[in-house]
């Protein structure tokens, strides 16, 4: 929706770095960075079901991602009542898709950066989907929940711990869900392996690995789409800018906030070279982008320790040549799974110390993929996971179920962004995760994605 990063994100970045500077100057411990002390009297949203409803949807942001989500929602027979974007032609294109699906033309909100405020104030919406640049996610989600609607926000949900707490506190105060649209939790491989884990096939879990390794240099320097804003973040923030695609599935495997929780993170980054090298090769000296100073290290590597003693390796690099890879490894006392390409090894399996194919384990295919896999794959959307994610969210709303992913997941999976920066700033010292659940992470024992039928 928004084509530029406003001054507020620059200001937030400066405040964070000044704050970290004071940490190293006066020796304040990293756990004290968790700041925004939550209300001890807050009522948790853990286990809170939706009120059964036929979902009425509004969408903020109708660019490439928002339009892709819209197509999947229409395939799931969802009513779309309102669309918002600062580029009217994009909103009108999205509107035409809704009309072509046989629905009444949704109302458009295109008057500027604050047009979303009118959309969320409507009284005929149950859920607002937010598919905008990252710096707008929290403000839009908070406005949505404050006006009595559930929010479904693209990844990452937040880029600071303060904003993670803001989402949690607003969700608890308004009794509205805030769901981060982490589609990778619904991939075919991820859901199959998750069910195998909960059936005990991997034994006691030990470690996992996740990543977002994706060569986005062409997109980052594009004069349209995400190129209009996403490169700018590389001039403002370091560490892991995009942790959730690799981390979400591993968190589900390990039952994070469902019997275990992230405890602390240790992080380090390489020097920054990739964007400079690409700019030198592709941009003339007269291009204004030569004035940009990139501060995000090319490869960020972080180690996370859980309260239960498990470890997670998390990586991020979008500015160097590398085949797309989320790594997606999970290992236990009985075996290990690794993705890209998918392969599996169990103790004592035929063939000696050779990887095996996961094709032999299709009996564990997730019920959602059994029922909806054909239409999901026809629609595309990251191999079908987008449709499965949205279909399941609509199912939860229609049937009055507890959502698979809640605001505590949105906060915890986004937190490695700011915590990786805190660790780096302190010489890779451990940075502790806040307990966004306020001690209730042990009340659940399994991801609902694993146990749903």
Tell me, what CATH number does 125's domain have? 3.40.50.720
From 181, 212, 242, give the residue that closes a domain.
181
Residue 18 lies in a domain: no
Please check whether residue 43 lies inside any domain of the structure: no
Same domain, 131 and 272: no
Which among 181, 203, 225 is the end of a domain? 181
Our measurement of the distance from residue 37's CA atom to the centroid of its chain's CA atoms, rounded to an integer in Å, reads 24
pLDDT of 179 reads 98
Same domain, yes or no: 120 and 176: yes
**Category of 181 on φ-ψ map: left (φ > 0), alpha (ψ -120 to 50) or beta:** beta
Angle between helices 64-75 and 385-399 (to 10 degrees): 60
Same domain, 77 and 105: yes
In-domain check, residue 154: yes
Return all residues near 376 (Cβ < 8 A) that are at least 6 apart: 369, 384, 385, 386, 387, 388, 391
Q: Nearest 5°: CA angle at 414, between 412 and 417?
A: 120
Asked if the structure places residue 435 within a domain, the reply is yes
Residues 280 and 223 both lie in one domain: yes
Please check whether residues 338 and 420 belong to one and the same domain.
Answer: yes
Is residue 118 included in any domain, yes or no? Answer: yes
Provide the domain count of the chain: 2
* 427 shares its domain with 282: yes
Report d(CA 290, CA 280) in Å as an integer. 9
Kindly state whether residues 323 and 242 are assigned to the same domain: yes
Confidence at residue 10, expressed as pLDDT on a 0 to 100 scale: 36
Is position 338 within any domain? yes
Has residue 123 been placed in a domain? yes
Tally of CB atoms within 10 A around 96: 11
190 domain-assigned: yes
The model's pTM:
0.92
pLDDT of residue 14: 36
- Tell me what pLDDT residue 330 has: 99
**Cβ proximity of 420 and 156 under 8 Å:** no
Q: Which of these three, 162, 181, 200, is where a domain ends?
A: 181
**CATH number of the CATH domain containing 210:** 3.30.360.10
| Three-class secondary structure assignment of the chain | CCCCCCHHHHHHHHHHHHHHHHHHHHCCCHHHHHCCCCCCCCCCCCCCCCCCCCCEEEEECCCHHHHHHHHHHHHCCCEEEEEECCCHHHHHHHHHHHHHCCCCCCEEECCCCCCHHHHHCCCCCCEEEECCCHHHHHHHHHHHHHCCCEEEECCCCCCCHHHHHHHHHHHHHHCCCEEECCHHHHCHHHHHHHHHHHCCCCCCEEEEEEEEECCCHHHHCCCCHHHHCHHHHCCCCCCCCCCHHHHHHHHHHHCECCCECEEEEEEEECCCCHHHHHHHHHCCCCCHHHHCCCCCCCCEEEEEEECCCCEEEEEEECCCCCCCECCCEEEECCEEEECCCCEEEECCCCCCCCCECHHHHHHHCCHHHHHHHHHHHHHCCHHHHHHHHHHHHHHHHHHCCCCCCCHHHHHHHHCHHHHHHHHHHCCCCCEECCCCCCCCCCCCCCCHHHHCC
| Residue 322 CB-density burial (10 A; 0-12 exposed, 13-18 middle, 19+ buried) | middle
Q: Do 411 and 294 share a structural domain?
A: yes
Instruction: Identify whether residues 216 and 127 lie together within a single domain.
Output: no
Q: Which of 99, 79, 153, 150 is CA-nearest to residue 120? A: 150
Residues 236 and 330 in one domain: yes
Do residues 421 and 284 both lie within one domain?
yes
Give, for all 453 residues of the chain, the pLDDT tens digit.
Answer: 433 333 333 333 333 433 333 333 333 344 445 445 455 557 999 999 999 999 999 999 999 999 999 999 999 999 999 999 999 999 999 999 999 999 999 999 999 999 999 999 999 999 999 999 999 999 999 999 999 999 999 999 999 999 999 999 999 999 999 999 999 999 999 999 999 999 999 999 999 999 999 999 999 999 999 999 999 999 999 999 999 999 999 999 999 999 999 999 999 999 999 999 999 999 999 999 999 999 999 999 999 999 999 999 999 999 999 999 999 999 999 999 999 999 999 999 998 899 999 999 999 999 999 999 999 999 988 999 999 999 999 999 999 999 999 999 999 999 999 999 999 999 999 999 999 999 999 998 888 899 888
Rounded to an integer, what distance in angstroms lies between the CA atom of residue 215 and that of residue 322?
Answer: 6
Residue 112 CA from chain centroid, whole number = 26
User: CA angle 122-125-126, nearest 5°?
Assistant: 140
User: What contacts 399, CB < 8 A, 6 or more positions away?
Assistant: 52
Residues 124, 228 within the same domain: no
Q: Which domain holds residue 268?
A: 185-367+406-451
């Amino acid at each position: 929706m928004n084509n530029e990063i406003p001054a507020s994100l620059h200001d937030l970045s400066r405040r964070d770095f000044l704050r970290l500077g004071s940490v190293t100057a006066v020796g304040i411990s990293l756990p004290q960075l968790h700041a925004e002390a939550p209300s001890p009297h807050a009522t948790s949203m853990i286990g809170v079901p939706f009120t059964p409803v036929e979902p009425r949807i509004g969408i903020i942001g109708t660019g490439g991602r928002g339009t892709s989500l819209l197509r999947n929602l229409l395939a799931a027979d969802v009513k779309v009542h309102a669309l918002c974007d600062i580029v009217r032609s994009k909103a009108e294109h999205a509107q035409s898709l809704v009309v072509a699906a046989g629905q009444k033309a949704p109302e458009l909100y295109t008057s500027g950066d604050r047009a979303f405020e009118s959309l969320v104030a409507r009284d005929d919406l149950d859920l607002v989907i937010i598919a905008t640049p990252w710096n707008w996610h929290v403000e839009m989600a908070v406005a949505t929940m404050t006006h009595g609607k559930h929010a479904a926000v693209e990844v990452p949900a937040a880029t600071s711990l303060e904003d993670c707490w803001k989402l949690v506190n607003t969700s608890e105060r308004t009794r509205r869900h805030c769901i981060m649209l982490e589609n990778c939790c619904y991939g075919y491989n991820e859901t199959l392996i998750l069910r195998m884990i909960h059936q005990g096939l991997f034994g006691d879990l030990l470690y996992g690995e996740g990543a977002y390794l994706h060569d986005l240099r062409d997109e980052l320097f594009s004069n349209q789409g995400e190129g209009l804003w996403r490169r700018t973040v590389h001039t403002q923030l370091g560490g892991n800018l995009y942790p959730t695609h690799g981390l979400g599935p591993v968190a589900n495997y390990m039952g994070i906030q469902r019997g275990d929780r992230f405890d602390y993170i240790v992080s380090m980054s390489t020097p920054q070279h990739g964007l400079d090298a690409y700019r030198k090769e592709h941009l003339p000296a007269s291009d204004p982008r030569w004035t940009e100073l990139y501060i995000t290290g090319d490869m960020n590597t972080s180690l996370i320790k859980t309260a239960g003693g498990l470890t997670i390796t998390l990586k991020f690099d979008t500015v160097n040549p590398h085949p797309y890879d989320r790594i997606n490894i999970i290992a236990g006392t009985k075996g290990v799974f690794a993705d890209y390409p998918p392969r599996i090894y169990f103790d004592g399996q035929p063939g000696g110390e050779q990887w095996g194919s996961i094709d032999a384990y299709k009996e564990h295919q997730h019920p959602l993929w059994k029922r909806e896999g054909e239409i999901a794959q026809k629609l595309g959307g990251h191999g079908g996971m987008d449709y499965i994610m949205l279909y399941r969210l609509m199912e939860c709303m229609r049937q009055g179920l507890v959502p698979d992913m809640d605001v505590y997941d949105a906060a915890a999976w986004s937190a490695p962004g700011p915590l990786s920066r805190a660790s780096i700033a302190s010489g890779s010292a451990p940075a502790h995760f806040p307990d966004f659940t306020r001690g209730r992470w042990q009340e659940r024992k399994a991801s609902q994605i694993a146990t749903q039928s």
